[in-house]
């Protein structure tokens, strides 16, 4: 089956708003007489092999629609998908500077939240067209989908985007491309020569003090429905999708945190942990490769026993490369009312770390988005310096004077 377009997105950004956008684009294209698009709903980030239907869609789709977020540029598989489609364009064109305009990036969030500078592969492609409307250019599609006040602007964008996509698909035809080796060995287009200095560059299992592992201790909406009354800050999947500063700011915590990492010139990736054992294994692995770990905690979620138990287990260990950041939403009346009880829960959970003397647990200075960005940035920078300093000490010890094995003299000895 030939698809009209290939929908490329980071699995960590999957949510109901993305579902609606994909459906609306597909419905509009069908009205213009085109076939359905292809969207892969199975995460590839865990090492799954490329399935035949995904490969076929990538090799036959008429256009490529990447969803631009910070996570997109740190997803190895998204970079591979773009790489394959880019090779198809180059194979179909005699002029490398005049490729068929079949890649149509979509700004999913506010442009200021994207990594800077963008890889040349992306920055060379126009994605801010005048007919897409000013709200799209300022906020990105997600805000248009989510907020009722933008419904008119969203429909304007859908119409313009679908018409533009239909025009280029009908005007250009490209075939599949011959690829050398297994698809698993294909590089990410964001890691090609010339991209080495970009903050978007990411390698699998990258370590060192310039990389950050992000862990979000935040339950899902179904999990929290028995814990608190207001659930608008939570999504179905939990974790990175938590919105800690509604209504002041609707950004997901994952996007906010990755934006901080990008601003610090550091690579980041999001890890979802599903048990105490998995959490400790992730932390031990990160410590072993000198990688910063930032754990962002929702206080309400700690009322749920599995999350509480995981954090208690973490609190019993001393991971010198890790920091804990605990936001407080001062605009949430329910949180303010329960502040004393929530602080008691924090003290009980973090028996060792919940005290003013522990600089790696920030819990009393984060009441806004600006506080969060500042304090997380400071905490990550301090963890990075600890790693660097410890590494330098280790090098000096390993390369220092070797102390000879002592000998025992005295009675019965002969020296």
Task: Give per-residue pLDDT as tens, 173-221.
Answer: 999 988 765 566 788 888 644 444 344 444 434 578 888 999 999 999 9
Query: Are residues 152 and 254 located together in one domain of the fold?
Result: no
- Name the average pLDDT for the chain: 84
Domain ranges, residue 215: 211-398
The answer on 224 and 81 residing in a single domain is no
Q: Is the pLDDT of residue 402 over 60?
A: no
Residue range 343-355: average pLDDT? Answer: 88
Residue 410 has pLDDT above 60, yes or no: no
What is the pLDDT at residue 42? 61
Q: DSSP per residue over 141-157, as a string?
A: HHHHHH-GGGHHHHHHH
User: Which of residues 277 and 114 earns the better pLDDT score?
Assistant: 277
Which CATH number goes with the domain that contains 123? 3.40.50
Mean pLDDT of 319-336: 92
Q: Which residues contact 279 (CB under 8 A, 6 or more apart)?
A: 215, 273, 310, 313, 314
Say whether pLDDT at 170 is over 90. Answer: yes
Measured distance CA(23)–CA(5) in Å, rounded: 12
Give the pLDDT score at 198.
Answer: 43
Banded pLDDT at 1 (limits 50, 70, 90): low
Is it the case that residue 348 has pLDDT exceeding 50?
yes
Q: 19: closest CA among 30, 29, 28, 7? A: 7
Does residue 205 lie in a domain region? no
Domain membership flag for residue 70: yes
- 344 exposed, middle or buried (CB, 10 Å; 0-12, 13-18, 19+)? exposed
69-78, 275-284, 340-349: least confidently modelled range = 69-78
pLDDT tens track for 208-229? 888 899 999 999 999 999 999 9
Domain identity same for 59 and 142: yes
363 and 392 assigned to the same domain: yes
Across-strand partners of 216? Answer: 296
Do 320 and 356 fall into the same domain? yes
Q: What percent of the chain has pLDDT over 90?
A: 49
The residue ranking higher by pLDDT, 393 or 131, is: 131
The confidence score (pLDDT) of residue 400 equals 58
Expressed in percent and rounded to 5, the helix, strand and coil fractions of the chain are 45, 10, 45
Report the pLDDT value the prediction gives residue 100, as an integer from 0 to 100: 94
Residue that terminates a domain, selected from 191, 221, 241: 191
pLDDT of residue 163: 96
Provide the number of structural domains found in the chain: 2
pLDDT band at 22 (very low <50, low <70, confident <90, very high): very high
* Beta-bridge mates of residue 106: 67
pLDDT at 121 over 70: yes
Average pLDDT of span 137-155: 92
Same domain, 114 and 256: no
Mean pLDDT on 97-118 = 85
- Look at the block and give the residue holding tokens 């256009």: 63
How far apart are the C-alpha atoms of 162 and 31, rounded to whole Å?
A: 10
Q: What is the DSSP letter of 214?
A: E
Task: Tell me whether residue 413 is in a domain.
Answer: no
Residue 18 has pLDDT above 90, yes or no: yes
Q: Quote the pLDDT of residue 69.
A: 86
What is the pLDDT at residue 65? 97
* 118 within some domain: yes
**Residues 187, 266 within the same domain:** no
Written as six digits, the tokens of 143 are 């805000």
Q: What is the pLDDT of residue 357?
A: 58
Q: Last residue of a domain, which of 191, 220, 246? A: 191
53 and 134 fall within a common domain: yes
Q: Do the domain assignments include residue 51?
A: yes
pLDDT at 373 over 60: yes
pLDDT at 128 over 90: no
Q: Is residue 316 situated within a structural domain?
A: yes
Closest CA to 386 of 316, 317, 315, 287: 287
**What pLDDT score was predicted for residue 180?**
64
The answer to whether residues 283 and 379 belong to one domain is yes
Query: Which of 77-86, 199-208, 262-271 is least confident?
Result: 199-208
Whether residues 40 and 129 fall in one domain: yes
Indicate if 292 and 337 belong to the same structural domain.
yes
Task: Give the per-residue pLDDT at 412.
Answer: 47
* 407 assigned to some structural domain: no
pLDDT of amino acid 265: 82
Q: Note whether residue 295 is domain-resident.
A: yes
Query: Are 227 and 315 part of one and the same domain?
Result: yes
């Amino acid at each position: 089956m030939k698809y009209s377009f290939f929908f490329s997105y980071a699995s960590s950004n999957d949510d109901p708003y993305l579902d609606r956008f994909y459906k609306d684009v597909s419905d509009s294209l069908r009205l213009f007489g085109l076939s359905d698009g292809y969207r892969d709903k199975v995460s590839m980030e865990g090492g799954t092999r490329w399935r035949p239907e995904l490969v076929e869609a990538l090799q036959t789709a008429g256009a490529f629609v990447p969803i631009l977020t910070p996570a997109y540029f740190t997803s190895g598989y998204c970079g591979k998908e773009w790489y394959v489609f880019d090779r198809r364009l180059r194979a179909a064109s005699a002029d490398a500077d005049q490729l068929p305009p079949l890649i149509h990036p979509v700004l999913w969030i506010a442009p200021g939240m994207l990594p800077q500078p963008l890889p040349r592969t992306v920055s060379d492609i126009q994605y801010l067209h005048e007919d897409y409307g000013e709200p799209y250019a300022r906020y990105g599609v997600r805000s248009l989908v989510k907020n009722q006040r933008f419904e008119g602007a969203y429909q304007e964008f859908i119409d313009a985007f679908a018409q533009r996509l239909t025009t280029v698909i009908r005007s250009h035809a490209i075939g599949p491309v011959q690829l050398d080796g297994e698809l698993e060995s294909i590089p990410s287009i964001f890691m090609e020569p010339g991209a080495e200095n970009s903050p978007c560059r990411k390698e699998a299992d990258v370590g060192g003090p310039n990389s950050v592992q992000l862990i979000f201790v935040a339950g899902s909406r179904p999990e929290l429905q028995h814990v608190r009354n207001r659930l608008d800050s939570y999504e179905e999947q939990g974790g990175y999708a938590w919105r800690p500063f509604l209504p002041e700011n609707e950004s997901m915590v994952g996007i906010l945190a990755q934006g901080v990492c990008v601003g610090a010139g550091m690579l980041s990736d999001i890890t979802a942990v599903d048990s105490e054992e998995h959490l400790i294994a992730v932390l031990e692995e990160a410590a072993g490769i000198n990688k910063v770990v930032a754990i962002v905690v929702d206080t309400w979620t700690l009322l749920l026993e599995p999350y509480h138990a995981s954090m208690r287990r973490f609190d019993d260990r001393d991971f010198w490369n890790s920091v804990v950041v605990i936001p407080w939403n001062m605009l949430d009346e329910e949180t303010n009312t329960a502040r004393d009880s929530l602080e008691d829960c924090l003290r009980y959970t973090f028996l060792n770390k919940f005290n003013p003397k522990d600089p790696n647990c920030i819990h009393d200075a984060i009441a806004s988005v600006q506080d969060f960005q500042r304090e997380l940035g400071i905490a990550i920078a301090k963890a990075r310096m600890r790693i660097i300093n410890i590494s330098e000490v280790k090098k000096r010890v390993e390369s220092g004077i070797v102390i000879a094995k002592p000998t025992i003299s005295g009675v019965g000895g002969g020296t």
